[in-house]
Protein backbone atom coordinates (compact mmCIF):
# COMPACT_ATOMS: atom_id res chain seq x y z
CA UNK A 1 0.00 0.00 0.00
CA UNK A 2 1.33 3.43 -0.80
CA UNK A 3 -1.34 5.75 0.55
CA UNK A 4 -4.45 3.94 1.80
CA UNK A 5 -4.33 3.01 5.47
CA UNK A 6 -0.85 4.37 6.08
CA UNK A 7 -2.66 6.48 8.68
CA UNK A 8 -5.13 4.44 10.72
CA UNK A 9 -7.53 5.05 13.57
CA UNK A 10 -8.41 1.82 15.36
CA UNK A 11 -11.36 1.92 17.71
CA UNK A 12 -12.78 -0.77 19.98
CA UNK A 13 -16.25 0.63 19.47
CA UNK A 14 -17.95 3.68 18.00
CA UNK A 15 -21.30 4.83 16.65
CA UNK A 16 -20.36 4.74 12.96
CA UNK A 17 -16.88 4.62 11.42
CA UNK A 18 -18.19 6.93 8.67
CA UNK A 19 -19.01 9.57 11.29
CA UNK A 20 -15.62 9.09 12.96
CA UNK A 21 -13.84 9.48 9.60
CA UNK A 22 -15.88 12.60 8.73
CA UNK A 23 -15.11 14.16 12.13
CA UNK A 24 -11.39 13.53 11.60
CA UNK A 25 -11.63 14.93 8.07
CA UNK A 26 -13.07 18.13 9.50
CA UNK A 27 -10.04 18.38 11.78
CA UNK A 28 -7.67 17.96 8.85
CA UNK A 29 -7.01 14.21 8.63
CA UNK A 30 -5.11 13.18 5.52
CA UNK A 31 -6.23 11.60 2.28
CA UNK A 32 -5.96 7.83 2.79
CA UNK A 33 -6.77 7.77 6.50
CA UNK A 34 -8.68 4.61 7.45
CA UNK A 35 -10.93 4.29 10.50
CA UNK A 36 -11.62 0.75 11.73
CA UNK A 37 -13.84 -0.34 14.61
CA UNK A 38 -14.34 -3.73 16.22
CA UNK A 39 -17.99 -2.84 16.86
CA UNK A 40 -20.45 -0.11 15.89
CA UNK A 41 -23.50 0.74 17.94
CA UNK A 42 -25.03 2.98 15.27
CA UNK A 43 -23.68 1.46 12.03
CA UNK A 44 -25.54 2.97 9.09
CA UNK A 45 -26.67 1.94 5.67
CA UNK A 46 -28.19 4.25 3.08
CA UNK A 47 -31.40 6.17 3.76
CA UNK A 48 -31.04 5.95 7.56
CA UNK A 49 -31.10 2.15 7.58
CA UNK A 50 -28.98 0.42 10.17
CA UNK A 51 -25.99 -1.87 9.66
CA UNK A 52 -25.75 -4.82 12.03
CA UNK A 53 -22.26 -4.55 13.54
CA UNK A 54 -21.63 -7.08 16.33
CA UNK A 55 -18.32 -6.84 18.19
CA UNK A 56 -15.22 -8.61 16.96
CA UNK A 57 -16.83 -10.63 14.17
CA UNK A 58 -16.64 -8.57 11.00
CA UNK A 59 -14.97 -5.63 9.27
CA UNK A 60 -16.35 -2.13 9.76
CA UNK A 61 -14.09 0.43 8.16
CA UNK A 62 -14.16 3.83 6.51
CA UNK A 63 -11.67 5.27 4.05
CA UNK A 64 -11.19 9.03 3.99
CA UNK A 65 -10.32 10.38 0.55
CA UNK A 66 -9.73 13.91 -0.66
CA UNK A 67 -10.32 13.40 -4.38
CA UNK A 68 -9.83 16.14 -6.98
CA UNK A 69 -13.21 15.44 -8.52
CA UNK A 70 -16.43 17.28 -9.09
CA UNK A 71 -18.99 16.39 -6.40
CA UNK A 72 -21.18 14.59 -8.94
CA UNK A 73 -18.26 12.37 -9.98
CA UNK A 74 -17.72 11.01 -6.45
CA UNK A 75 -20.67 8.63 -5.75
CA UNK A 76 -19.65 5.93 -8.25
CA UNK A 77 -16.49 5.36 -6.20
CA UNK A 78 -18.84 2.99 -4.37
CA UNK A 79 -18.63 0.75 -7.43
CA UNK A 80 -14.83 0.64 -7.21
CA UNK A 81 -14.99 -0.33 -3.53
CA UNK A 82 -17.45 -3.08 -4.40
CA UNK A 83 -15.04 -4.56 -6.94
CA UNK A 84 -12.27 -4.69 -4.32
CA UNK A 85 -14.52 -6.43 -1.77
CA UNK A 86 -15.88 -8.83 -4.38
CA UNK A 87 -12.38 -9.84 -5.52
CA UNK A 88 -11.13 -10.34 -1.99
CA UNK A 89 -13.99 -12.64 -0.99
CA UNK A 90 -13.88 -14.46 -4.33
CA UNK A 91 -10.19 -15.20 -3.72
CA UNK A 92 -11.34 -16.91 -0.52
CA UNK A 93 -13.72 -19.20 -2.37
CA UNK A 94 -16.95 -17.21 -2.00
CA UNK A 95 -19.16 -17.09 -5.10
CA UNK A 96 -19.88 -13.38 -4.78
CA UNK A 97 -21.38 -10.93 -7.26
CA UNK A 98 -21.93 -7.18 -7.31
CA UNK A 99 -25.40 -5.73 -7.06
CA UNK A 100 -25.87 -2.10 -8.04
CA UNK A 101 -25.12 0.25 -6.46
CA UNK A 102 -23.44 -0.83 -3.25
CA UNK A 103 -23.92 -4.50 -2.44
CA UNK A 104 -21.77 -7.59 -2.59
CA UNK A 105 -24.12 -10.56 -2.63
CA UNK A 106 -24.02 -14.34 -2.70
CA UNK A 107 -27.16 -15.36 -4.55
CA UNK A 108 -29.75 -13.07 -2.94
CA UNK A 109 -27.95 -12.77 0.41
CA UNK A 110 -25.93 -9.70 1.28
CA UNK A 111 -22.33 -10.23 2.30
CA UNK A 112 -21.13 -6.62 2.30
CA UNK A 113 -22.39 -3.09 1.78
CA UNK A 114 -20.71 0.21 0.91
CA UNK A 115 -21.82 3.64 2.11
CA UNK A 116 -20.19 6.64 0.40
CA UNK A 117 -20.72 10.09 1.87
CA UNK A 118 -19.03 13.39 1.07
CA UNK A 119 -18.68 16.98 2.17
CA UNK A 120 -18.20 19.91 -0.20
CA UNK A 121 -16.68 23.32 0.30
CA UNK A 122 -17.29 26.15 -2.15
CA UNK A 123 -18.67 23.77 -4.75
CA UNK A 124 -15.75 21.35 -4.68
CA UNK A 125 -15.20 18.16 -2.73
CA UNK A 126 -13.59 18.60 0.66
CA UNK A 127 -13.59 14.92 1.46
CA UNK A 128 -15.35 11.65 0.72
CA UNK A 129 -15.82 8.79 3.17
CA UNK A 130 -16.23 5.31 1.77
CA UNK A 131 -17.56 3.00 4.50
CA UNK A 132 -17.49 -0.76 4.12
CA UNK A 133 -19.21 -3.38 6.22
CA UNK A 134 -18.08 -6.90 5.35
CA UNK A 135 -19.55 -9.89 7.18
CA UNK A 136 -16.66 -12.20 7.95
CA UNK A 137 -17.38 -14.44 10.93
CA UNK A 138 -21.01 -13.87 11.89
CA UNK A 139 -22.86 -17.17 11.87
CA UNK A 140 -26.11 -16.07 13.55
CA UNK A 141 -27.85 -12.98 12.27
CA UNK A 142 -30.85 -11.35 13.96
CA UNK A 143 -34.20 -12.64 12.66
CA UNK A 144 -34.79 -9.75 10.24
CA UNK A 145 -31.46 -10.51 8.52
CA UNK A 146 -31.51 -14.30 8.81
CA UNK A 147 -32.82 -14.86 5.29
CA UNK A 148 -31.07 -11.97 3.56
CA UNK A 149 -27.53 -11.84 4.98
CA UNK A 150 -24.49 -14.08 4.83
CA UNK A 151 -20.83 -14.06 5.85
CA UNK A 152 -17.55 -15.44 4.53
CA UNK A 153 -17.63 -18.02 7.30
CA UNK A 154 -21.16 -19.14 6.46
CA UNK A 155 -20.18 -19.50 2.80
CA UNK A 156 -16.86 -21.29 3.25
CA UNK A 157 -17.21 -22.95 6.66
CA UNK A 158 -13.88 -21.42 7.65
CA UNK A 159 -13.14 -18.81 10.32
CA UNK A 160 -11.61 -15.60 9.02
CA UNK A 161 -8.58 -13.81 10.46
CA UNK A 162 -9.82 -10.22 10.50
CA UNK A 163 -6.33 -8.66 10.53
CA UNK A 164 -5.33 -10.55 7.41
CA UNK A 165 -8.67 -9.78 5.72
CA UNK A 166 -8.21 -6.08 6.44
CA UNK A 167 -4.70 -5.91 4.99
CA UNK A 168 -5.64 -7.73 1.80
CA UNK A 169 -8.80 -5.71 1.39
CA UNK A 170 -6.94 -2.41 1.82
CA UNK A 171 -4.48 -3.41 -0.91
CA UNK A 172 -7.29 -4.12 -3.31
CA UNK A 173 -9.18 -0.98 -2.33
CA UNK A 174 -6.12 1.13 -3.02
CA UNK A 175 -5.73 -0.39 -6.50
CA UNK A 176 -9.37 0.13 -7.43
CA UNK A 177 -9.56 3.63 -5.92
CA UNK A 178 -6.45 4.52 -7.95
CA UNK A 179 -8.10 3.25 -11.10
CA UNK A 180 -11.26 5.16 -10.38
CA UNK A 181 -9.44 8.37 -9.46
CA UNK A 182 -7.42 8.19 -12.69
CA UNK A 183 -10.12 7.09 -15.12
CA UNK A 184 -13.53 7.58 -13.49
CA UNK A 185 -16.39 5.22 -14.25
CA UNK A 186 -14.90 4.44 -17.68
CA UNK A 187 -11.85 2.97 -15.96
CA UNK A 188 -13.84 0.46 -13.93
CA UNK A 189 -17.14 -0.10 -15.79
CA UNK A 190 -16.14 -3.24 -17.62
CA UNK A 191 -14.57 -4.76 -14.52
CA UNK A 192 -17.68 -3.94 -12.51
CA UNK A 193 -20.00 -5.49 -15.10
CA UNK A 194 -17.96 -8.70 -15.25
CA UNK A 195 -18.51 -9.18 -11.51
CA UNK A 196 -22.17 -8.18 -11.53
CA UNK A 197 -25.06 -10.57 -11.88
CA UNK A 198 -26.38 -9.40 -15.23
CA UNK A 199 -28.39 -12.57 -15.84
CA UNK A 200 -30.76 -12.11 -12.93
CA UNK A 201 -33.95 -10.17 -13.70
CA UNK A 202 -34.38 -7.13 -11.47
CA UNK A 203 -37.12 -4.83 -10.31
CA UNK A 204 -36.61 -1.12 -9.73
CA UNK A 205 -38.94 1.73 -8.90
CA UNK A 206 -38.47 4.74 -11.17
CA UNK A 207 -40.54 7.85 -10.51
CA UNK A 208 -42.95 5.73 -8.50
CA UNK A 209 -43.37 3.13 -11.25
CA UNK A 210 -42.12 -0.42 -10.86
CA UNK A 211 -40.02 -1.63 -13.78
CA UNK A 212 -38.84 -5.17 -14.35
CA UNK A 213 -36.03 -5.96 -16.70
CA UNK A 214 -32.50 -7.11 -17.21
CA UNK A 215 -29.54 -5.10 -15.97
CA UNK A 216 -27.23 -4.31 -18.87
CA UNK A 217 -24.20 -2.69 -17.28
CA UNK A 218 -23.26 0.84 -16.33
CA UNK A 219 -23.84 4.11 -18.12
CA UNK A 220 -20.99 6.66 -18.43
CA UNK A 221 -21.82 8.20 -15.01
CA UNK A 222 -22.26 4.94 -13.11
CA UNK A 223 -26.04 4.75 -13.51
CA UNK A 224 -27.38 1.22 -14.00
CA UNK A 225 -28.97 0.49 -17.37
CA UNK A 226 -32.04 -1.74 -17.14
CA UNK A 227 -33.74 -3.05 -20.28
CA UNK A 228 -37.34 -4.19 -20.21
CA UNK A 229 -38.49 -7.16 -22.32
CA UNK A 230 -40.05 -4.64 -24.70
CA UNK A 231 -36.56 -3.29 -25.34
CA UNK A 232 -37.25 -0.06 -23.48
CA UNK A 233 -34.08 1.20 -21.82
CA UNK A 234 -33.99 2.89 -18.41
CA UNK A 235 -31.28 4.60 -16.39
CA UNK A 236 -31.35 3.91 -12.65
CA UNK A 237 -29.56 6.70 -10.78
CA UNK A 238 -30.73 6.13 -7.21
CA UNK A 239 -32.59 3.72 -4.97
CA UNK A 240 -32.65 -0.02 -4.64
CA UNK A 241 -32.53 -2.81 -7.16
CA UNK A 242 -34.33 -6.00 -6.17
CA UNK A 243 -33.07 -9.25 -7.59
CA UNK A 244 -36.11 -11.22 -8.71
CA UNK A 245 -36.10 -14.96 -8.36
CA UNK A 246 -36.26 -16.25 -11.95
CA UNK A 247 -39.61 -17.97 -11.36
CA UNK A 248 -41.31 -15.01 -9.67
CA UNK A 249 -41.04 -12.64 -12.55
CA UNK A 250 -44.41 -11.24 -13.55
CA UNK A 251 -45.12 -12.01 -17.20
C1 LIG B 1 -25.49 -0.56 2.92
O2 LIG B 1 -26.65 0.14 3.04
O3 LIG B 1 -25.38 -1.67 2.48
C4 LIG B 1 -24.25 0.18 3.42
C5 LIG B 1 -23.64 -0.49 4.62
C6 LIG B 1 -22.37 0.19 5.04
C7 LIG B 1 -21.92 -0.26 6.38
C8 LIG B 1 -20.56 0.29 6.72
S9 LIG B 1 -19.91 -0.39 8.19
C10 LIG B 1 -18.65 0.78 8.22
C11 LIG B 1 -19.28 2.10 7.80
N12 LIG B 1 -19.86 2.78 8.95
C13 LIG B 1 -21.20 2.87 8.85
O14 LIG B 1 -21.95 3.41 9.70
N15 LIG B 1 -21.61 2.32 7.69
C16 LIG B 1 -20.50 1.80 6.92
P17 LIG B 1 -28.05 -0.30 2.40
O18 LIG B 1 -27.88 -0.64 0.95
O19 LIG B 1 -28.99 0.79 2.75
O20 LIG B 1 -28.41 -1.64 3.15
C21 LIG B 1 -28.86 -1.63 4.47
C22 LIG B 1 -29.71 -2.88 4.65
O23 LIG B 1 -28.86 -4.02 4.68
C24 LIG B 1 -30.46 -2.90 5.98
O25 LIG B 1 -31.69 -2.25 5.87
C26 LIG B 1 -30.63 -4.41 6.22
O27 LIG B 1 -31.71 -4.92 5.47
C28 LIG B 1 -29.37 -4.98 5.61
N29 LIG B 1 -28.32 -5.21 6.61
C30 LIG B 1 -28.07 -4.55 7.76
N31 LIG B 1 -26.99 -5.03 8.37
C32 LIG B 1 -26.53 -6.05 7.60
C33 LIG B 1 -25.43 -6.94 7.69
N34 LIG B 1 -24.55 -6.89 8.67
N35 LIG B 1 -25.29 -7.84 6.69
C36 LIG B 1 -26.14 -7.91 5.65
N37 LIG B 1 -27.20 -7.09 5.52
C38 LIG B 1 -27.39 -6.17 6.48
Q: How far apart are CA 188 and CA 183, in angstroms?
A: 8
Q: Please report the pLDDT score of residue 248 as a whole number.
A: 52
Report the predicted TM-score, pTM, of the whole model to 2 decimal places: 0.96
Q: Which of 17, 45, 55 to mutate to test the pocket of ligand 1 (most atoms within 8 A of CB)?
A: 45
Nearest residue CA, atom 16 of ligand 1? 131
The Cα 104–Cα 60 span in angstroms is: 15
Whole-angstrom Cα Rg for the chain: 18
Coil, helix or strand at residue 51:
coil
Helix, strand, coil share of the chain (percent; to 5): 30, 35, 40
Ligand 1 atom index nearest CA of 47: 19
Q: How far apart are CA 213 and CA 230, in angstroms?
A: 9
pLDDT in tens, the chain (251 residues): 899 999 999 999 999 999 999 999 999 999 999 999 999 999 999 998 999 999 999 999 999 999 999 999 999 999 999 999 999 999 999 999 999 999 999 999 999 999 999 999 999 999 999 999 999 999 999 999 999 999 999 999 999 999 999 999 999 999 999 999 999 999 999 999 999 988 889 999 998 999 999 999 999 999 999 999 999 999 999 888 998 876 555 55
Q: Which of 53, 55, 62 is nearest to 17 (CA)?
A: 62
Q: How far apart (Å, rounded) are the C-alpha atoms in residues 209 and 32?
A: 40
Pocket test for ligand 1, best of 9, 23, 51, 152 (most atoms within 8 A of CB): 51
240 Cα to the center of ligand 1, angstroms: 13
Query: Which ligand 1 atom sits closest to the C-alpha of 138?
Result: 34
DSSP readout, 64-119? EE---S-GGGSTTHHHHHHHHHHHHHHHTT---EEETTTEEEETTEEEEEEEEEEE
Amino acid sequence: MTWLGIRRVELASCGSTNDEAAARARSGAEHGTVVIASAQHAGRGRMARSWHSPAGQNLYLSCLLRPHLEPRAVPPITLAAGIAVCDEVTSRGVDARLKWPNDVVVGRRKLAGVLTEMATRGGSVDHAVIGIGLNANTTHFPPELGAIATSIRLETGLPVDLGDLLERLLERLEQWFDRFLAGGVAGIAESWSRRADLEHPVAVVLDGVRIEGRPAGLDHDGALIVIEDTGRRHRVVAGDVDLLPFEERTP
